[in-house]
Structure 1
Amino acid sequence: MNNNKYASSSWLSSTAHLAWLNSQGQQLLDFAKASRLPVGFGSLDRYGQLPADALADTMNTARMVHSFALAHLQGLPGCGLLVDHGLAALLGPLRDGEFGGWFASPEGADGDLRKPAYRHAFVALAASSAVAAGRPQAQTLLDQAVDVLERHFWSDSEGALLESFARDWSDCEAYRGGNSNMHGTEAFLALADVLEDPKWLKRALAISDKVIHQQISQANDLPVEHFDAQWQPLPDYNVSKPDDGFRPYGQTPGHGFEWARLLLHLEAALPLAGLAAPAWLCEDARRLFAASAALGWHADGADGIVYTLDWHGKPVVRQRLHWTLAEAAAGAAALLQRTAEPVYETWYRTFWDYIDAYLIDRQHGSWHHELGVDQQPAGEIWPGKPDLYHAYQAILLPQLPLAPSLATALKSRVMRG
């Protein structure tokens, strides 16, 4: 955090607050351990149980590998073995042994054979964190994931990730996604650290420029989510399916908070690699956070952050999703670290107060993943509690510097003693 007299009173400097975060983190981990299946990890219901017909999910498995690798790097017993379990699944039945890349479920049992950048970005993130954690087989997975990204998804000419393909890598989708490229940026930050290759930071910067900086002034200072193959915005995309879990209609304040944080991570990482960090990274992060807070928080008259807005800033899908609050708290922490300005302290405390009051499930464990407009648990968009990744990162990010990325930062902290 910058030197500032205000910083000494910040929750980020509070021993009690940091202890509270770590306690929450341990509870999240303990709940998530029940998601283990014979192959990979599945989706838990709201009570922490796996359905009788549960299948491993590649996205969840990758997120669990990443999260348990972070926990292992913290020195939490049992988590390294869970990383190994997930790696075996990602190197085994979840991987397409014929064409390369990853199915959505073991051997494509759920019938979903398309290969999206979003899923593959999480596999790369998981592999990079497992390598940082020193787990056997992690380097093999990382080599495979990087090869797929290089061979199929990264487009030098576009300076961004292509969206998805058929199983055999034909039929490139005529759509470009802000969400997939956002998580590609996250993965690239981690790859740059683990591979010690600034190429990935340059790519993260190219994505951030295309998806955020070139669009922000025409988009209410919020991210544009959907583009055509020529990178023209698609404002009416999914207007008939506004509550889609990955490609909702309109704009998503939660992604504004998430992008704000990622831009600050990138700004901090570039100089460490001997590269220049453009001033717009911090400027756009401020704009994204301000718009997300102003338009997303209390948008319908009640506390919380609505899932989506239309292009005039009016609520469309009013459910409160847990990941938006996790990213809001992490985004506030990042801007507080970067600037030490009191407004971000206020927002940081506001978001955690909401999480404590409404999202933490003290009866059944973990966090409610979705709340209805009445602030009561719901499950229309995200049923159950399958996601450890967002909440666990929100626990860790306020405790670590903006760069290097999470796993490398935790590894460095351990090595420093």
Structure 2
Amino acid sequence: MTTTGDSPQSGSWASLPAHRAWLDGEGERLLAFAEAAAGTTTGFAWLDDGGRPDPGQPPQLWITARMTHVFALACLRGRPGAGPLVDSGLAALTGPFRDAEHGGWFSSLTADGAPAATDKSAYDHAFVVLAAASATAAGRPGAAELLQEALSVVERHFWSGGEGRCMESWDRTWSEAEPYRGANSNMHTVEAFLTAAAVTGDDRWLTRALSIAERLVHQAARTNGWRLPEHFDPQWQPLPDYNDDRRNDKFRPYGSTPGHWLEWSRLLLHLEAALGADAPDWLLPDARSLFDAAVEVGWAPDGESGFVYTLDWQDRPVVASRLHWVLTEAIGAAAALVARTGDADYERWYRTFWDEAATRFIDRERGSWVHELPVGDAAPVWSGKPDVYHAYQATLLPQLPLAPVLAATLRQELGDD
């Protein structure tokens, strides 16, 4: 196996001190914006376009977990003040978001901290694992206990050994499972399992991450021309018409989502690097194929620069709006492929993506990134600037090796291992 990205490839932007300093500056700018989301007992708030908490958006588990993860990474990088922000996120995750009666975590809360949505979703719980793992790497009080609890809940209620993937969601009492299976929640579970394995040293989570990747990418995506099906029935049969009447859904849009092909491309390379000599030989070719398909049909299909949000099954744009998270995942995937292969084509795309970000998405007036650039008369997907998870990771990934994943590498750099 070739380099796992222990150092930036010679000739790449990521090897230049000036570019790395620029990435650090952009990361700091994002963190300064995100600090306004803290300060409540219900975790991190949803921020509007100007960086103010949006009172119309209830506290969301996924936002609090993702921002706890982000500030844990910032803490590991030595940013003063980040540690207490991690602690405030942990307090919300072990406090009002936690279902002390039935276990697991509520998806959302009311403004005064009571449960609002009481369903238990794999997507949300994956981010609880990620947050707890990163906070554990940062050495924050109570994080390790939260991580063990979260992994136990995921193993007991979401992981299905017979399916080799995770179930999607349950009611509050874990009595009734949703008759749906989703690729998005499983993708983020892979991210969480990679981090949990790196932080705990338990390779069981790598084995399960590989199982998910093999079934969703090496089987479902590969046999569908790398157009990853996102929605499945309980027997894992694709549902190509799912949400045809809700095409701009935030989490379950109709069609296929090139941003997820890019995200999967990067995750496969992290997984390959983490597995080392035990990695199957399909991980790199599949990562290449997903990236190549995304730029071939998802980038500028209407003649304008940028990735569209979704495509139909004939590769036609469904929601052509440009979403910032798709571009950040393209940056991460290109950086990972440069580190893994040294291929000049990926370096060219890496530079193209950052040029696109600097020109159209980075909001130097109000802070953070513009989350969505509308195209045509499509209804907006997002409001405001809910969190900085995707953008902040895009500033770190080009600077760090593929394995261990972000938090574990930063812990090593501190000399805490």
Structure 2-normalised TM-score?
0.95
What does 1:244-259 correspond to in 2, within 5 Å? 244-259=249-264
CA distance in 1, matches of 2:65, 2:116: 19
1:306 aligned partner, one-letter code: V
CA contact (8 A) 1:189 1:200 kept: yes
Paired position in structure 2 for 1:387? 387
Paired position in structure 2 for 1:279? 281
CA distance in 1, matches of 2:115, 2:323: 25
Q: Does 1:105 align with 2:108?
A: yes
CA distance in 1, matches of 2:115, 2:251: 18
What does 1:57-76 correspond to in 2, within 5 Å? 57-76=60-79
What does 1:4-403 correspond to in 2, within 5 Å? 7-39=9-41, 40-52=43-55, 55-106=58-109, 109=114, 111-271=116-276, 276-373=278-375, 380-403=380-403
Task: List structure 1 segments (4+ residues) > 6 angstroms apart after TM superposition.
Answer: none
CA contact (8 A) 1:176 1:227 kept: yes
Give the secondary-structure state (helix, strand or coil) at the position aligned to 1:42: coil
CA distance in 2, matches of 1:142, 1:118: 16
1:341 aligned partner, one-letter code: D
2:261 aligned partner, one-letter code: G
Deviation by residue 1:296-315 (Cα, 9 ceiling, x = unmatched): 10011100100000011110
2:109 aligned partner, one-letter code: P
1:96 aligned partner, one-letter code: D
1:105 aligned partner, one-letter code: S
CA distance in 2, matches of 1:317, 1:297: 13
Q: Percent sequence identity over matched residues?
A: 56
Deviation by residue 1:351-377 (Cα, 9 ceiling, x = unmatched): 000000000001100001111127x9x
CA contact (8 A) 2:226 2:289 kept: yes
The 3 A distance-change label for structure 1 pair 202 and 52 is closer
- CA shift for structure 1 position 52: 4.0
- CA shift for structure 1 position 8: 2.4
* Higher alpha-carbon deviation: 23-32 or 110-119: 110-119
CA distance in 1, matches of 2:80, 2:150: 27
Give the secondary-structure state (helix, strand or coil) at the position aligned to 1:28: helix
- Say what the alpha-carbon RMSD is for the aligned residues: 1.9
1:223 aligned partner, one-letter code: L
Deviation by residue 1:168-220 (Cα, 9 ceiling, x = unmatched): 00111111100000000000001111111111000000000111101223323
CA distance in 1, matches of 2:332, 2:40: 33
The 3 A distance-change label for structure 1 pair 228 and 113 is same
Deviation by residue 1:22-55 (Cα, 9 ceiling, x = unmatched): 0000000000000014221110000001134554
Deviation by residue 1:118-147 (Cα, 9 ceiling, x = unmatched): 000000000000000000011121121011
Deviation by residue 1:258-300 (Cα, 9 ceiling, x = unmatched): 00000000000002xxx61111100100000000011110011
2:287 aligned partner, one-letter code: A
2:216 aligned partner, one-letter code: V
1:66 aligned partner, one-letter code: H
The 3 A distance-change label for structure 1 pair 181 and 52 is closer
2:47 aligned partner, one-letter code: L
- CA shift for structure 1 position 65: 0.6
CA distance in 1, matches of 2:206, 2:385: 33
Paired position in structure 2 for 1:404? 404
- CA shift for structure 1 position 224: 1.5
CA distance in 1, matches of 2:82, 2:393: 15
CA distance in 2, matches of 1:247, 1:105: 18
CA contact (8 A) 2:327 2:357 kept: yes
CA contact (8 A) 2:248 2:379 kept: no
CA distance in 2, matches of 1:394, 1:379: 27
The 3 A distance-change label for structure 1 pair 52 and 155 is closer
* Higher alpha-carbon deviation: 45-54 or 251-260: 45-54
Give the count of matched residue pairs: 410
* Higher alpha-carbon deviation: 247-256 or 52-61: 52-61
1:85 aligned partner, one-letter code: S
Ranges in structure 2 where 5+ consecutive residues have no aligned partner: none
Ranges in structure 1 where 5+ consecutive residues have no aligned partner: none
1:352 aligned partner, one-letter code: W
Deviation by residue 1:85-129 (Cα, 9 ceiling, x = unmatched): 000000000111110111122377463111110000000000000
CA contact (8 A) 2:96 2:114 kept: no
CA distance in 2, matches of 1:240, 1:96: 33
CA contact (8 A) 1:270 1:277 kept: yes
CA distance in 1, matches of 2:56, 2:373: 26
CA distance in 2, matches of 1:52, 1:382: 15
- CA shift for structure 1 position 416: 8.5
Structure 1-normalised TM-score?
0.95
